[in-house]
């Protein structure tokens, strides 16, 4: 067991992804609980918790990476919530994907923008 890393990771996951993170953990729970645990321990307990970059910078890196890589729309949506939870605005997120068009082409930018459109709609008009 590695309770300290897991607990630090769960706190970070809650802080970044909020209830979206809970849903991923729950969905993994019956089929791959160890993957859920390792993702929390490594991704959130080890990496997100490090100093050296702010949480806001880390989320920018994450949504840029997922948009450029492609094929990760479910994870991109979770982290679009995360990006907004840590302070990025809708305008900045769309601007990020505009920048992605230069390096990964328009289809990657469009897929990311349509993921953002869905997340913005989920969050409604009053909340960022």
Q: Is residue 18 a contact residue for a copy of itself (CB under 8 A)?
A: no
Map residues 73-112 to x or -, x wherever contact with a copy of itself holds by CB under 8 A.
-xx---------------xx-xxxxxxxxxxxxxxxxxx-
Q: CB–CB of 15/83 below 8 Å? A: no
Per-residue burial over 17-27, b if 16 or more Cβ lie within 10 Å, else e, is beebbeebbee
Looking at residue 52, the DSSP 8-state letter turns out to be S
Q: Which residues bind a copy of itself (CB under 8 A)?
A: 2, 5, 24, 27-28, 30-32, 34-35, 38-39, 41-43, 46-48, 50, 52-53, 57-58, 60-62, 64-72, 74-75, 91-92, 94-111, 113-114, 116-117, 120
């Amino acid at each position: 067991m590695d309770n300290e890393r897991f607990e630090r990771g769960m706190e970070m996951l809650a802080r970044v992804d909020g209830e979206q993170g809970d849903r991923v953990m729950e969905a993994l729970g019956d089929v791959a609980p160890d993957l859920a645990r390792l993702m929390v321990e490594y991704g959130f307990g080890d990496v997100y918790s490090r100093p050296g970059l702010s949480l806001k910078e880390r989320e920018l890196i994450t949504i840029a990476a997922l948009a450029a890589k492609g094929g990760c729309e479910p994870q991109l949506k979770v982290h679009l919530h995360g990006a907004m939870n840590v302070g990025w605005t809708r305008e900045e997120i769309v601007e990020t994907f505009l920048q992605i068009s230069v390096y990964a082409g328009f289809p990657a930018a469009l897929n990311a923008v349509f993921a953002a459109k869905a997340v913005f709609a989920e969050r409604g008009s009053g909340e960022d």
